[in-house]
């Protein structure tokens, strides 16, 4: 994709377009040997724009067949694949133009624009894919109504879909047929969509709060209709939730979802026609894990919620991406929290934020939630914009309170419906409803890096004093950081586990369990406390920050057993585990025997058997910090092999010490009830599989893992068993037999086969590289299928620390070559995979050097896409 154009786009250069496109009429002819697109566009020259101003339309690799003014007028034009420049235009305010382009969807492997996936025509236009279909003002502040006519051979394309409502259909000569769609809501081009092909359909309906009947349809491969049932259920729950929680009603007669098997991302919120990676639609107990079900629920909701936060109110420019993404992630998080266990959901969100966003903020790819420049916008669909963007909305609600936040959202929808907006517009509604000045708060959007809070506490009878210092380490192009407004939720816990009150506070605004940190340094005194409290901090993870605080191990153990806030309780135990793991890492590096404190090890057993805690919570608590979590805690000069050994030692010690408790818990969780994907059942499976993970490390572990795999009646248990076999007992005949069984059983189920690749790609150790290179030659490995590539190469590079970072650097070199091969067809995919190198500077010097060489191989390669080059160059720094 646009290999040579490598310009930097800057926020400060934004200016409105000279022309608007009021109406867009598109006619697609989808012939077996290629497609033609006829675009009839109604332009408006903005007031004050000179009549001789040229009109410059965006294109990307287009072949122009015809361009003319409608009516009698004349003009001149200059066309290249990437631009159409029109001059000598009519002097009238409005004029119409006809543009015809020719496309070859079958050869489009970048999966942007119009392409074919498994014989189905589909489109992906966000962020700049529409310009691969026709010349256009392809920017989100150009809002147009769309009328779309699709013509195609009927036998191979019985289904013809586009945005909006269907207004006509009929037959044509030569066994072709057509359908016409009209979308009355003006929208930016990135929300355009078309689907044509032969698919099965699952239908349902929804009655909105004002009593309108909406037709719901999920289109999937023939024979897979039933696998869409869970997604349909999630859709109806989402529609209801948005009405109840945000007062938002659906606004068309039909809502279509299409599942395709080749897709670069999770899904896309095209108006009235969401297109999904089929991984996030298709599910049943035999092929999907509980986390697949949870992802489906979240992504179905996310795309649906975009109808208001993204589509009705869209972004002025791509710098404002978090306006729709951060807000919509916040909405899908809240939805899932309401559908499941709020505490467990919050812990999972924080784990994901730390695993995906913190490394971004702490590495060479750091950028503000609203960036100020980009070279390739495709590379900004990041955890920072999505997840940290969501955290900002959550903080806003925490600061303003639920009611004022809702009033602000209501005003946002009322004031900005039908507009393309900025972060300033968003913050202004909250300023208006609350009377607060949010200018310091807006730094969260503009300043990159994760703030750290260094805390120390002291207690004199009656008074707790806290010294809190906030700081952010320098990030690329940002050395000087200003103090932010950080809402820090806290609690004081007495020796009996009950909350303690204080009477007065000085040194900061302290209200409703929140400390408002607004200065670089605060000394806060809380007076009138009855006894020395144990401090519970950043409850509910009220702010996306890191904490540096010396807390006594006994206090952490106390919090791990008593904190009423589920997140803080989980965090206390994880702080203990992290500290133990870091100490063990140092011992491993020094070649010493590793020992862990007995109280932590036994606390694990207590948690496993504590019936007052939800099983899902217990599973999360007993999941040790991942190898990358530990690496982040260590910070630099990292040796992934030593981390692996330290973590393994802790797991073995916990397993040995709690054999009885874990075995009983494991056995007690087995049931013969019919499968249900609900949160409680999933939590029980999660705890049972966590127990398996420990017990499999003991002497009869192989037998247990084998039995678990053989007797599994759902994919969650099966993949847990298979994963344990492959990761703990890789080189055994039993493991090979289980892998062969699985491959045979799922030979024709791509999504399940992805898991087979993934399980093997994540088997720890240096030999993983050989496995990867063998699997890349497997007949079922397809380099042009993003799901398969992610299952093998993505899982290897991000989920296999000892394999990917093997000391001789061979995996880096291999990976770089694989990325270059992928890059030829799909730059978005290669660029995303390349982010696996983002923490390379935290490695020990030998590995750093090897990683640098691999990065250099990529920048120096002859034809590298802008996408991949952008990531690699920023990563090298």
Residue number with CB closer to ligand 0A1 (256 or 536): 256
292 binds, among ligand 0A1, Zn ion, none (CB under 5 to 8 A by kind): none
Q: Kindly write down the DSSP assignment for every residue of 784-824, as one continuous string.
A: T-HHHHIIIIIHHHHH-HHHHT-TTSHHHHHHHHHHHHHHT
362 binds, among Zn ion, ligand 0A1, none (CB under 5 to 8 A by kind): none
| From candidates 24, 117, 123, 124, binder to ligand 0A1 by CB under 6 A | 124
| From candidates 108, 264, 307, 538, binder to ligand 0A1 by CB under 6 A | 264
Task: Give yes or no for a contact between 692 and 705, defined as CB atoms under 8 angstroms apart.
Answer: yes
The CA distance from 146 to 131, in Å, is 15
Residue number with CB closer to ligand 0A1 (61 or 476): 61
| From candidates 58, 100, 126, 317, binder to ligand 0A1 by CB under 6 A | 126
The CA distance from 385 to 360, in Å, is 11
We find the least distance from the C-beta atom of residue 110 to ligand 0A1, in angstroms, to be 9
Give the burial string for 570-599 (b: 16+ CB within 10 Å, else e).
bbbbbbbbbbbbbebbebbeeeeebebeee
Parallel, antiparallel or unpaired: strands 55-58 and 83-87: antiparallel
266 binds, among Zn ion, ligand 0A1, none (CB under 5 to 8 A by kind): ligand 0A1
Please tell me the total number of residues recorded for the chain in this structure.
877
The CA distance from 368 to 478, in Å, is 10
The CA dihedral of 626, 628, 633, 634, to the nearest 10 degrees, is: 120
830 binds, among ligand 0A1, Zn ion, none (CB under 5 to 8 A by kind): none
> Judged by CB under 6 A, does residue 297 bind ligand 0A1?
no
We find the least distance from the C-beta atom of residue 86 to ligand 0A1, in angstroms, to be 28
Give the burial string for 271-308 (b: 16+ CB within 10 Å, else e).
bbbbbbbbbbbbbbbbbbbbebbbbbbbbbbbbbbbbb
Largest Cα separation within the chain, whole Å, is 91
Coil vs helix vs strand at 467: strand
The CA distance from 822 to 754, in Å, is 18
We find the least distance from the C-beta atom of residue 303 to ligand 0A1, in angstroms, to be 6
| From candidates 60, 128, 221, 325, binder to ligand 0A1 by CB under 6 A | 325
Task: Give yes or no for a contact between 530 and 436, defined as CB atoms under 8 angstroms apart.
Answer: no
Using CB under 6 A, which of the segments 137-145, 264-272, 387-395, 680-688 binds ligand 0A1?
Answer: 264-272
| From candidates 381, 459, 602, 729, binder to ligand 0A1 by CB under 6 A | 381
Kindly identify the residues of this chain, within the stretch 321-380, that bind Zn ion according to CB under 5 A. 325, 328
The DSSP symbol for 317 reads S
Using CB under 6 A, which of the segments 267-275, 289-297, 580-588, 641-649 binds ligand 0A1?
Answer: 267-275
We find the least distance from the C-beta atom of residue 111 to ligand 0A1, in angstroms, to be 7
> Judged by CB under 6 A, does residue 268 bind ligand 0A1?
yes
Binding track, positions 211-250, relative to ligand 0A1; x by CB under 6 A: ----------------------------------------
In the residue annotation, 215 being an active-site residue is answered as no
The catalytically annotated residue of 303, 391, 457, 614 is: 303
Residue number with CB closer to ligand 0A1 (128 or 629): 128
Residue number with CB closer to Zn ion (325 or 614): 325
334 binds, among Zn ion, ligand 0A1, none (CB under 5 to 8 A by kind): none
We find the least distance from the C-beta atom of residue 378 to ligand 0A1, in angstroms, to be 7
The CA distance from 78 to 64, in Å, is 10
CA atoms within 13 A on the CB side of 538: 21
Residue number with CB closer to ligand 0A1 (362 or 835): 835
We find the least distance from the C-beta atom of residue 500 to ligand 0A1, in angstroms, to be 43
Residue number with CB closer to Zn ion (325 or 627): 325
- List for the chain the helix, strand, coil content (%; round to 5): 45, 25, 35
225 binds, among ligand 0A1, Zn ion, none (CB under 5 to 8 A by kind): none
Residue nearest ligand 0A1 (C-beta atom) = 265
CA distances from 210 to 248, 312, 331 (A): 11, 18, 22
Interface size with ligand 0A1, residues (CB under 6 A): 13
CA distances from 576 to 359, 557, 643 (A): 21, 8, 16
Using CB under 6 A, which of the segments 161-169, 266-274, 514-522, 557-565 binds ligand 0A1?
Answer: 266-274
The residue written with tokens 């926020």 in the block is 11
> Judged by CB under 6 A, does residue 266 bind ligand 0A1?
yes
Residue number with CB closer to ligand 0A1 (275 or 607): 275
Task: Give yes or no for a contact between 241 and 335, defined as CB atoms under 8 angstroms apart.
Answer: yes
Give the binding site for Zn ion (CB under 5 A): 325, 328
Give the binding site for ligand 0A1 (CB under 6 A): 124, 126, 264-269, 302-303, 325, 381, 828
Active site residues: 303
């Amino acid at each position: 994709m646009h290999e040579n154009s490598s310009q930097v786009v800057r926020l400060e250069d934004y200016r409105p377009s000279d022309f608007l496109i009021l109406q867009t009429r598109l006619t697609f002819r989808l012939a077996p040997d290629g497609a033609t697109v006829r675009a009839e566009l109604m332009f408006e020259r903005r007031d004050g724009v000179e009549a001789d101003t040229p009109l410059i339309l965006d294109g990307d690799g287009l072949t122009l067949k015809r361009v003319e003014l409608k009516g009698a007028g004349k003009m001149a034009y200059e066309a290249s694949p990437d631009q159409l420049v029109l001059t000598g235009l009519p002097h009238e305010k409005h004029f119409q133009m006809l543009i015809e382009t020719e496309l070859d969807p079958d050869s489009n492997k970048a999966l942007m624009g119009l392409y074919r996936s498994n014989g189905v025509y589909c489109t992906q236009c966000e962020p700049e894919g529409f310009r691969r279909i026709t010349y256009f003002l392809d920017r989100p502040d150009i809002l147009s109504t769309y009328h779309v006519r699709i013509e195609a051979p009927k036998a191979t394309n019985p289904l013809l879909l586009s945005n909006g409502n269907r207004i006509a259909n009929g037959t044509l000569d030569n066994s072709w047929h057509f359908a016409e769609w009209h979308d009355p809501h003006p929208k930016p081009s990135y929300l355009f969509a078309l689907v044509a092909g032969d698919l099965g359909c699952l239908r349902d309906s929804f009655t909105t709060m004002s009593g309108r009947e909406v037709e719901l349809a999920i289109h999937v491969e023939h024979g897979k209709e039933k696998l869409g049932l869970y997604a349909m259920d999630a859709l109806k729950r989402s529609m209801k939730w948005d009405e109840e929680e945000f007062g938002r009603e659906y606004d068309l007669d039909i809502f279509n979802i299409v599942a395709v098997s080749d897709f670069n991302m999770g899904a896309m919120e095209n108006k009235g026609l969401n297109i999904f990676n089929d991984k996030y639609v298709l599910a049943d107990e035999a092929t999907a894990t509980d986390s697949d079900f949870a992802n489906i629920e979240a992504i179905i909701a996310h795309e649906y919620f975009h109808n208001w936060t993204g589509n009705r109110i869209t972004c002025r420019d791509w710098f404002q991406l978090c306006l729709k993404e951060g807000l919509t992630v916040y909405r899908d998080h809240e939805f899932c929290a309401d559908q499941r266990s709020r505490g467990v959901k919050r812990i999972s969100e924080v784990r994901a934020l730390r695993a995906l966003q913190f490394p971004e903020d702490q590495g060479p790819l750091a950028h503000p939630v609203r960036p100020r420049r980009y070279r390739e916008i495709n590379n900004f669909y990041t955890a920072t914009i999505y997840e940290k963007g969501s955290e900002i909305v959550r903080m806003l609600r925490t600061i303003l309170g639920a009611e004022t936040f809702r009033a602000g959202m209501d005003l946002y929808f009322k004031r900005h419906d039908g507009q393309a907006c900025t972060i300033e517009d968003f913050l202004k509604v909250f300023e208006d409803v609350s009377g607060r000045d949010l200018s310091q708060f807006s730094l969260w959007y503009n300043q990159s890096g994760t703030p750290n809070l260094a805390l120390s506490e002291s207690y004199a009878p009656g008074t707790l004093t806290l010294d809190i210092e906030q700081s952010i380490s320098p990030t690329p192009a940002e050395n000087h950081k200003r103090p932010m407004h950080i809402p820090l939720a806290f609690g004081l816990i007495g020796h009996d586990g009950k909350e303690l009150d204080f009477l007065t506070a000085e040194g900061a605004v302290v209200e409703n369990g929140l400390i408002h940190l607004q200065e670089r340094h605060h000394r806060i005194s809380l007076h009138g406390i009855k006894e020395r409290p144990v401090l519970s901090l950043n409850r509910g993870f009220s702010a996306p920050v890191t904490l540096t605080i010396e807390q006594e191990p006994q206090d952490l153990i106390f919090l791990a057993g008593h904190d009423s806030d589920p997140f803080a309780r989980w965090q206390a135990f994880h702080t203990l585990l992290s500290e133990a793991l870091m100490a063990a890492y140092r011992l491993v590096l020094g070649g010493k025997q590793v020992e862990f404190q007995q109280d932590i090890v036994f606390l694990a057993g207590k948690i496993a058997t504590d019936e007052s805690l939800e099983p899902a919570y217990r599973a999360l608590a007993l999941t040790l910090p991942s190898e990358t979590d530990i690496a982040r805690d260590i910070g630099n000069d990292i040796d992934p092999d030593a981390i692996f050994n330290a973590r393994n030692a802790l797991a073995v010690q916990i397993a040995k010490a709690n054999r009885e408790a874990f075995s009983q818990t494991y056995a007690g969780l087995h049931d013969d009830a019919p499968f249900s994907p609900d949160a409680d059942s999933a939590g029980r499976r999660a705890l049972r599989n966590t127990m398996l993970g420990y017990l499999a490390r003991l002497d009869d572990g192989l037998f247990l893992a084998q039995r678990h795999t053989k007797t599994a009646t759902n994919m969650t248990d099966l993949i847990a068993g298979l994963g344990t076999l492959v990761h703990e007992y890789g080189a055994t005949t039993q493991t090979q037999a289980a892998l062969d069984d699985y491959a045979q059983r799922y030979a024709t189920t791509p999504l399940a086969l992805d898991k087979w690749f993934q399980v093997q790609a994540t088997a720890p150790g240096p030999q993983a590289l050989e496995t990867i290179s063998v699997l890349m030659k497997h007949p079922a490995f397809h380099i042009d299928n993003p799901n398969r590539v992610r299952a093998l190469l993505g899982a290897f590079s991000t989920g296999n620390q000892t394999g990917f970072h093997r000391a001789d650097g061979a995996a880096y070199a291999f990976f770089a070559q694989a990325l270059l091969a992928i890059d030829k067809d799909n730059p978005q995919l290669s660029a995303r995979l390349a982010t696996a190198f983002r923490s390379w500077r935290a490695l020990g010097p030998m590995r750093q050097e090897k990683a640098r060489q691999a990065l250099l191989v990529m920048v120096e390669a002859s034809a590298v896409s802008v996408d991949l080059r952008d990531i690699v160059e920023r990563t090298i720094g």
